[in-house]
Structure 1
Amino acid sequence: MRNILIILIPIIICFLVGCASQNFQEDSMVSWYPYLCKSPLTPHNIVFPVAWSLLYLLMGLSIGLFVISDKAQKKYFILLFALQLFFNFTWSIAFFYLENPLLGLINIILLDFLIIYYAIKMYPVSKISSILFFPYILWVGFATYLNLYIFLYN
Structure 2
Amino acid sequence: MRASTLAKTALATTAAAAAGSVATEPSGSWYLSLRKPPFQPPSAVFPIVWTALYADIALTGAKALDGLADRNQPAERRRYRRALAANLLLNGAWSWLFWRARSPWLAAAECAVLAVSSADLVRRTGRISPAAGAALAPYALWCGFATVLTTAIARRNPGR
- TM value normalised by structure 1: 0.91
Q: Pick from 109, 124, 128: which aligns with 1:125?
A: 128
User: Is 1:36 aligned to residue 39 of structure 2?
Assistant: no
Shift, 1:99, TM fit: 0.4
Q: Pick from 140, 144, 149: which aligns with 2:147?
A: 144
Identity between Structure 1 and Structure 2 (%): 25
Q: d(CA) in 2 for partners of 1:13 and 1:81?
A: 9
Shift, 1:133, TM fit: 1.7
Counterparts of residues 57-96 of structure 1 (less than 5 Å): 57-69=55-67, 70-71=70-71, 72=73, 73-96=76-99
- TM value normalised by structure 2: 0.88
Counterparts of residues 44-59 of structure 1 (less than 5 Å): 44-59=42-57
Shift, 1:119, TM fit: 1.5
Shift, 1:6, TM fit: 1.7
Consecutive unaligned residues of structure 1, counting only runs of 5 or more, are none
Consecutive unaligned residues of structure 2, counting only runs of 5 or more, are none
Give the counterpart letter for 2:142 in structure 1: W
Q: d(CA) in 1 for partners of 2:124 and 2:63?
A: 15
Give the counterpart letter for 1:55 in structure 2: L
Q: d(CA) in 2 for partners of 1:18 and 1:121?
A: 22
Shift, 1:39, TM fit: 1.0
Counterparts of residues 2-41 of structure 1 (less than 5 Å): 3-26=2-25, 29-41=27-39
Shift, 1:8, TM fit: 2.8
Is the Cα–Cα contact under 8 Å of residues 9 and 62 in structure 2 kept in the other structure?
A: yes
Give the counterpart letter for 1:79 in structure 2: R
Aligned length: 152
Is the Cα–Cα contact under 8 Å of residues 87 and 118 in structure 2 kept in the other structure?
A: yes
Q: d(CA) in 2 for partners of 1:110 and 1:134?
A: 16
